[in-house]
Structure 1
Amino acid sequence: MTALPQPPGHLLSIEEYSALGEDEHGRYELQEGRLLVSPSPSMDHMIVIARLVVQLDGQLPRGLQVVPDVDVDLQLAPPDQPGWSRRPDLLIVTDAAAERVRSEGGLARASEVLVAVEVVSPGSKRTDHVIKRGEYADAGIPRYWIVDLDDPFTLIDCQLAGGLGYQDAGATAGTFATEVTDASGAVRFSVRLDLDRLLRR
């Protein structure tokens, strides 16, 4: 990602970023008020995202949604201060979060996200494995899955561990199975993903 020029001395708040509108900020993200842009994803990247959506959608209980490619306010700063907004490849959120955005506008909020998923691209390895991992943990997102398309396809399941940030058990290949619970323990569901079928039939 590279930073786009900003007006001198002007860093964007979440309010200003949200007001840009979908057509204007496209695949942009906001990092401490600085607008960043990503190159368009590859075809393989988009195929993997589509197949993840299909696998996840059939397993989520009523009341949850899997949503690709939407902005998330990481809530790391007040709305009128230089902010952080990321655009994960996938989110798992509640129906209530989707309804709030539908009725109020604005962005999804980190506090509404159960799982954030990034599919690693050649130019995003450090961003996904280090920078976003730290930001998502700071934002309190309970689970962060990093899907790597290097052969063999793998998934790293990062789980919040109190003040220690994310902890993980290393990369999983083949079949990934886990149980996801929200911070309150009120929402609990199981997920099983066939990683080998994300790109190959």
Structure 2
Amino acid sequence: MSVMEWPHDLLSLDDWINLPETPEHQVEVVEGVLVVAPRPMPFHQSAVTRLGYLINEKLADEYWALSEVEIVLSEAPLTVRSPDVVVVPSSLVETNPPRFHTGDVRLVVEVLSEGTRRTDQVTKFSEYAEAGIEHYWIVDLDSPVTLITYRLIEGDYENFGEFSGVAELDFAGTPLTLDLNALTTRRAQRP
């Protein structure tokens, strides 16, 4: 095990960019302070991968769902999060940026897991709203798998629906049908 020197001051975006990769940890920055957690467990990762795939299959071509990319919520003080899934314009994805800014992000999805429940439901809920991200969805993998959708209305998230089983949604004028039970199976369910 190697020991790395962690910063002793609040991080700037340049500091963040120059940090070494840590594949064994999930690292984010909140108001200039590093937040380090173990990587999510395989069941969580499988659900995130499946969710991104299912959303991409239904999205209009102008949008793209990506898993675990960095979004800069604020540069001063620096807050960088790596949501489980984000939806951004395809034209921007094609430029292959190292991270996205909140103005680029149309939807953030967090999948609850042990150790992140409060962060996803309280802290990130308020951070994403303050950053102006229009849609926020929270998935709970505990049986039955559920999805709560929020939409930003006058600066606050309002509950736009709670689903289990099959969720019939609308995103940017495109109907999305998501089989939530498919998030916890080994193979995507075929029609």
User: Any conservation in 2 of the 1:33–1:83 contact (CA below 8 Å)?
Assistant: yes
Identical aligned residues as a percent: 34
Partner of 2:59: 60
Question: Taking structure 1 as reference, are residues 70 and 179 closer, same or farther at Cα in structure 2, changes over 3 Å only?
Answer: same
Question: Taking structure 1 as reference, are residues 57 and 126 closer, same or farther at Cα in structure 2, changes over 3 Å only?
Answer: same
User: Any conservation in 2 of the 1:18–1:106 contact (CA below 8 Å)?
Assistant: no
TM-fit CA distance, 1:197: 1.3
Indicate which of 105, 116, 125 corresponds to 1:133. Answer: 125
User: Any conservation in 1 of the 2:62–2:89 contact (CA below 8 Å)?
Assistant: yes
More strand by share: 2
User: Any conservation in 1 of the 2:71–2:80 contact (CA below 8 Å)?
Assistant: yes
Root mean square deviation of aligned Cα: 2.1
Q: Does 1:89 align with 2:84?
A: yes
> What secondary structure is seen at the aligned counterpart in 1 of 2:106?
strand
Question: Taking structure 1 as reference, are residues 5 and 33 closer, same or farther at Cα in structure 2, changes over 3 Å only?
Answer: farther
Q: Does 1:109 align with 2:101?
A: yes
User: Where in structure 1 are there 5+ consecutive unaligned residues?
Assistant: 182-187
Tell me the TM-score normalised to structure 2 length: 0.87
User: Any conservation in 2 of the 1:18–1:107 contact (CA below 8 Å)?
Assistant: no
Partner of 2:27: 28
TM-fit CA distance, 1:16: 2.2
TM-fit CA distance, 1:144: 0.7
> What secondary structure is seen at the aligned counterpart in 2 of 1:198?
helix
Partner of 1:151: 143
User: Any conservation in 2 of the 1:89–1:117 contact (CA below 8 Å)?
Assistant: yes
Partner of 2:174: 189
Tell me the TM-score normalised to structure 1 length: 0.83
TM-fit CA distance, 1:117: 0.7
TM-fit CA distance, 1:112: 0.5
> What secondary structure is seen at the aligned counterpart in 2 of 1:134?
helix
Q: Distance in 1 between matches of 2:12 and 2:157?
A: 26
Partner of 2:40: 41
User: Where in structure 2 are there 5+ consecutive unaligned residues?
Assistant: none
Paired positions, count: 182
Partner of 2:166: 175
Counterpart AA for 1:41: P
